[in-house]
Amino acid sequence: MLTHPQFDPIALDIPIPLLDKHLQIHWYGLTYLVAFGLFLFLARLRVKKPWFAQAGWTARDVEDLLFFGVVGVVLGGRLGYVLFYKPAYYASHPLEVFAVWKGGMSFHGGLLGVVAAMAVFAWLRQRHFWQVTDLIAPCVPTGLASGRMGNFINGELWGRAADPSLPWAMVFPQAGPEMMPRHPSQIYQFLMEGLLLFVLLWIYGRKPRGLGQVSGAFLFGYGVFRFIAEYFREPDNFLGLLALNMSMGQWLCVPMILAGAAIWAWGSRQPVPTVAAGGRA
């Protein structure tokens, strides 16, 4: 049985003598920076694919996509948490909606925010929405993996109680005085909806696919992996388990899985982009 290392959440503490203050950089902020950097790197590789290059995609488009995506994930993640998890509380404390430094972000809300941002981008650039999301979908899981590492470093979003004989069962002291062994569910999510989903989507997206198929595969794959991981993750204490003993995260994954399967099936009937002579898929 292991014990969480209790990392200092502050990665860098830089003194500023002239102001008699310190510039503190948190690990969680660095994981966001890593996520954005990985997106830039991977999306620039994606736009070099012949079917994207022939459609006029450039590295500059990737930079603009990142800007739109950052705005979407921050606004959507916060509003999703407010609306999905604590609507009554924030209805009574509306000004705290803006207190993002107190925590509270929802992946599902962030996803909706990114979808909205990509729709705006597609409209402004006169591109097909599904072409935009097919481009970025394989570049997203590495960012999710980075975020889960941030959760683990912070010792938050810990797992449910585990058998003490489980070699990687871990005690999270911040989870309560009972010091019970738990599943390190952040690592499970890092491996499944992060690394594994990235590998599967990157391989699947190496060849031209029908419009929307890569996007559908992302929604379906994330929904399935997150649904599984939720069985090992401690439900939010202010919600607990809901109908059918499923967590809020699992219920939010159900429409993702169904929508992903439907979009993929629709995309399978769309024409596959052709590669001009001399291009490599």
Cβ count within 10 A of residue 159: 23
Residue 46 labelled as part of a binding site: no
CA distance 38 to 142: 7
Nearest to 144 by CA among 189, 109, 105, 188: 189
Cβ count within 10 A of residue 93: 11
Contacts for 84-92 with beta carbons within 8 Å, 24 or more apart? 84/108, 84/109, 84/248, 84/252, 85/236, 85/238, 85/239, 85/248, 86/238
Burial class (CB in 10 A: 0-12, 13-18, 19+), 180: middle
β-strand 2-3 against 181-182: which pairing, if any? unpaired
Cβ count within 10 A of residue 249: 20
Tokens matching residue 211: 């419009």
Cβ count within 10 A of residue 59: 11
Tokens matching residue 31: 């994981």
Answer yes or no: are the C-beta atoms of 264 and 220 closer than 8 Å: yes
Please, what's the largest Cα pairwise distance for the chain?
A: 66
| Phi-psi sector, 184: left (phi>0), alpha (psi -120 to 50), beta | beta
Annotated binding site: 148
